[in-house]
Amino acid sequence: MFGLGLATKIYVAVDAVDMRKGFDGLYGLVRDQLGQDPLSGYLFLFSNRTRTRLKALVWDGSGLWVCAKRLEKGRFRWPAASEPSAA
């Protein structure tokens, strides 16, 4: 399991992402679209267009974690593209 400290930065990809992406696809999005290092230890969050699915990518020091969640009802609250992508 991975732990997140109080100082862990969380980056949110505000544009919708193809949820078929796995380790390599999300790694590339972090590097190319967010301009961040996927091995930084920061938490990177991605959602689909309807905001019913979420994926998280994080480096724990020995490997990458990809975690997924699917809502059975409702939607995730997600920042608009005009809002900052880092929280």
Q: Are 12 and 78 in contact (CB under 8 A)?
A: yes
Is residue 45 included in any domain, yes or no? yes
> How many structural domains does the chain have?
1
- 50-65, pLDDT tens digit by residue? 999 999 999 999 999 9
**pTM for the structure as a whole:** 0.88
32 contacts 44 by C-beta, under 8 angstroms: no
Rg, the chain, Cα only: 12
Residue 10 domain-assigned (yes or no):
no
The pLDDT tens digits of the residues spanning 14-63 come to 999 999 999 999 999 999 999 999 999 999 999 999 999 999 999 999 99
Q: What is the three-class DSSP state of 41?
A: coil
Per the domain annotation, does 47 fall within a domain?
yes
